[in-house]
A and B are shown apart, each in its own frame.
Chain A
Amino acid sequence: MSNDAAQGKRIPYIRLRNIKKSFGHVIALDGIDLDVYPGEVMALVGDNGAGKSTLIKIISGVLNPDEGELSLNGKTFKHLTPSRAIELGISTVYQDLALVDCLDVASNIFLGREPLKACFFVDKKRMNRESEELLRRLKVSIPSVTTPVEFLSGGQRQGVAVARSINLQGRMIIFDEPTAAMGVSESARVLELIRSLGDEGFAVLVISHNLHHVFTIADRICVIRNGRLVKDFRTENTNPDQVVGFITGSNRYSGEYTEESITAWR
């Protein structure tokens, strides 16, 4: 989706306004305004400590912001909790903390919302069947849904984590460093999966250090620096050198992020 006119009319899935967060004396986020749209892969880039992780933790309800608000579906929230975020369709695919190693693939996909039969027993058959369908739809290849997750490769684990997010009725999916510590072909598969989620109409937010990957999948690239959103690019209007310039701060930046500057960049 790169039709700018269409983009302008669309309603953002989540709208963040003036989000601020400090840890003691350290200001992690200093007034972030950000919109994430359905059907769009948005990449959030920035140096270590720029505030990317803090921001996605706020969106997924793990952290509470000191100031600012989040609006979703016309409702405005001061902060979210993990379960509230899930109810609102936001799910986060964490690189390491996502899965319970000792449980099998199907149990992980259904973790937290296992179907029951006779009001007590977990409906294992249904879990297995639906997990298989879901994984097939996402084109994630896994030997068996009854394999404990600890025996899977990084890419397969990522696939299971994505399947779980979608199974949680996620409409917005956040990826934290999805390709870190992954091989080349494995990364390619994960990137393909992320891209296809965007095409299927999910709102996708990706954090990555790998600009090559970011340019492969993202429709929009936002640069965070020192807790501020310093630049919001359409991918086709920029190049990696320019983005690096904004990440490191060697490029001049406007400082303020306003509605006008967004439209200017579109």
Chain B
Amino acid sequence: MFPKIKLLLGNIFPQLLLILVMLVMVIFLSVASPFFLTWDNFRNVFDHSSLYIIMALGMTFVISSGGVDLSVGAVAALSGVCMAVAMQSGLGVGTSILIGLAAGGLVGATNGSIISLFKINPFIVTLGFMSLARGLALIITGGIPIYGFPRAFTWWGSGHIGPLNPPMLLAAFMAVLAALVLNMSRFGYYTVALGGNEEALRRSGVSIHLYKIMVYLLCGVTAALGGLIVTARLNTAEPLAGWMLEMDSIAAVVLGGTSMKGGRGSIAGTLIACLLLGILRNGLVILSIPAYYQQLLIGMIILTAVIFAEVRSRKGLAGTHKKERSTAV
């Protein structure tokens, strides 16, 4: 008899643990500060996290497929700059946004094409594009930020929809969409299969090039959406925007329980991890802990999470499934 419930629990265990840690943090911060448990503050956390969530969603697909994309921060900056230049040249807001998203998608698709067709390590290819996209953003702007956009554009960063704002709703919408696509669509199945066993997928007659390119294209587009939010929020297209955002995205994805080896991805985990990191940053500010310590602490949490996940996956293979695996290949 297969322990189905145990398996189910095992699958969502990392996410459950994250929620638990989050609850502990919320309780602790509520007690420690009267400002923490207020709607204004939570609105702040959600608002801040929405950028990370959107960028990390695309990254979840890439990491599930066994790859990584280091270029997302630079792509966010590049697409923000593209939107700004388009608007300056007199194009409408909608068109400009589409141009920015297309720029992000183009960089992503190029990433994916090179990785897939030339079979080069994604780490190296996207490292190249990190520099390339950043360089392009600097060249286009001449290093000088572009600012002053129409209200219809800045609405995407600082508008209001009832008690919420566009980035939050965009993040929520994207998260639902990403969960549906990753867990229920063919594209999602193949993304996970790419990370699990690329060769098996190829031998089933699936075009792995096409799906790999699509995975990176998706990540490029979410990076561009991140660029939209950053640019609209600051009302400035800054060629150095999104600095180190790739690291934050990767950290959130890994913390959320997506395997860095590929073959396993959790949108819910990514979402929870982004919120957890958001609450952590917020809490450290509220408790007036200097920013330098925030970096230190976040680094420590990510390392702990990764070590924990690794130890757990090894134990899992050696323990519960040993009996069933003993005769396996």
Q: Decide if B184 touches A121 in the complex (CB within 8 Å).
A: yes
Which residues of A are found within 8 Å of B201, using beta-carbon distances?
100, 111-112
Chain B residues in 8 Å Cβ range of A122: 184-186, 189
Query: What is the minimal beta-carbon distance from B9 to any residue of chain A, in angstroms?
Result: 14
Q: Does A36 contact B (CB under 8 A)?
A: no
State the CA gap A122–B192 with chains docked (Å). Answer: 14
Residue B196 contacts which of A87, A103, A153, A168 (CB distance < 8 angstroms)? A103
B110-118, B223-231, B288-296, B319-327: which lies at the A interface?
A: B319-327
A86 within 8 Å of B (CB atoms): yes
Is B324 touching A152 in the complex (CB atoms < 8 A)?
A: yes
In the complex, A62 has a CB within 8 A of chain B? yes
Report B1-24 residues with CB < 8 Å from chain A CB. 1-2, 4, 7
Q: Which residues of A from 32 to 51 have beta carbons under 8 Å from B?
A: none
Quick check: is A198 within 8 A (CB to CB) of the other chain? Answer: no
Is B300 an interface position by the 8 A CB rule?
no
B31 at the interface (CB under 8 A from A): no
| Residues 184 to 233 of chain A near chain B (Cβ within 8 Å) | 186
Query: Nearest CB to that of B259 among chain A residues?
Result: A102
The reply to whether the CB of A53 lies closer than 8 angstroms to some CB of chain B is no
Instruction: Pick the interface stretch among A70-78, A91-99, A236-244, A246-254.
Output: A91-99
Q: Mark A104-139, 1 if CB is under 8 A from B, else 0.
A: 000100011110100011101000000000000000
Q: Contacts A122-B185, A143-B1; is A103 near B193 (CB within 8 Å)? A: yes
| A148 CA to B192 CA, complexed, in Å | 13
Best-buried of B1, B199, B200 by chain A (most CB within 10 Å) = B200
> Is A181 part of the binding interface, using a Cβ–Cβ cutoff of 8 Å?
yes
Shortest beta-carbon distance from A19 to chain B in Å: 20
Contact B200 A98 (CB under 8 A): yes
How many angstroms between the C-alpha atoms of A235 and B202 in the bound complex? 35
Q: Is the CB of A97 within 8 A of B200?
A: yes
Do A101 and B202 form a contact, CB below 8 Å, given A111-B193, A154-B329, A181-B329? no
The stretch among B167-175, B203-211, B242-250 that forms the contact with chain A is: B203-211
CB < 8 Å neighbour of A116 from B186, B192, B196, B327: B186
| Bound Cα distance from A175 to B91, whole angstroms | 60
A182 at the interface (CB under 8 A from B): yes
B1 neighbours in A (Cβ, 8 Å)? 143
Contact residues of A: prevailing secondary structure:
loop
CB closest residue in chain A, given B320: A151
Cα-based distance from A113 to B189 in the complex (angstroms): 11
Pairwise interchain contact B328-A154, C-beta atoms closer than 8 A: yes
Neighbouring A residues of B185 by C-beta, 8 Å: 120-122
A103 touches B199 (CB 8 A): no
Minimum CB–CB distance from B18 to chain A (whole Å) comes to: 20
CB atoms of A157 and B205 under 8 A apart: no
Known A103-B189, A103-B193; judge A86-B205 contact (CB<8 A). yes
Candidates A92, A102, A148, A157; contact of B203 at CB < 8 Å: A92
CB pair B4–A114 under 8 Å, yes or no, is no
Is B278 on the interface with A (CB-CB < 8 A)? no
- A102→B200 contact, CB < 8 A: no
Q: How far is the CB of B53 from chain A (nearest CB, A)?
A: 23
Interface residue tally of chain B, by bracket? 20 to 34
Alpha-carbon gap, A94 to B325, bound state (A)? 18
Bound CA span A97–B201, Å: 9
In the complex, A94 Cα to B204 Cα: how many Å? 11
Is the C-beta of A22 less than 8 angstroms from some C-beta in chain B?
Answer: no
A143 touches B193 (CB 8 A): no
Q: Report A-chain residues with C-beta under 8 Å of the C-beta of B321.
A: 150-151
Interface residues of A in 58-97 (CB under 8 A from B): 60, 62, 82-83, 86-87, 92, 94-97
Closest partner residue, chain B, to A158 (CB atom): B329
CA distance A144 to B5 in the complex (A): 13
The complex places the Cα of A168 from the Cα of B201 at a distance, in Å, of 13
Residue from the list A146, A151, A168 in contact with B324, Cβ < 8 A: A151
Query: Nearest residue in B to A108 (C-beta to C-beta)?
Result: B200
Residue of A nearest to B184 (CB): A121
Task: With CB as the reference atom, state the residue of chain A lying closest to B200.
Answer: A100
Known: A82-B203, A92-B203, A94-B203. A114 touches B186 (CB 8 A): yes
Q: How far is the CB of B67 from chain A (nearest CB, A)?
A: 15
- Determine whether the beta carbon of B2 is less than 8 Å from that of A143: yes
For B264, what are the chain A residues with a Cβ–Cβ distance below 8 Å? 102
Which residue on A lies nearest to B180, using beta carbons?
A: A121
The verdict on B73 contacting chain A, using a C-beta distance below 8 Å, is no
Q: B283 contacts the other chain (Cβ, under 8 Å)? A: no
Docked Cα-Cα span, A100 to B199, in Å, equals 9
Which residue of B has the minimal Cβ distance to A84? Answer: B205
Given contact pairs A98-B203, A148-B7, enumerate 13 new A-B contacts (beta carbons under 8 Å): A94-B203, A101-B197, A102-B195, A103-B193, A103-B196, A107-B189, A111-B193, A112-B204, A122-B186, A151-B325, A153-B325, A181-B329, A186-B327
Binding site for A on B (CB under 8 A): 1-2, 4, 7, 180, 184-186, 189, 192-193, 195-197, 199-207, 263-264, 321, 324-329
A positions within 8 Å CB-CB of B: 60, 62, 82-83, 86-87, 92, 94-103, 107, 111-114, 116, 120-122, 124, 143-144, 146-148, 150-155, 157, 164, 168, 181-183, 186
Between-chain CB contacts (< 8 Å), 12 pairs:
A82-B205, A83-B207, A94-B203, A96-B329, A101-B263, A103-B196, A112-B205, A116-B186, A147-B2, A151-B2, A155-B327, A182-B327
Counting from the closest, the 3 A-B pairs by CB-CB distance are A112-B204, A83-B205, A102-B263
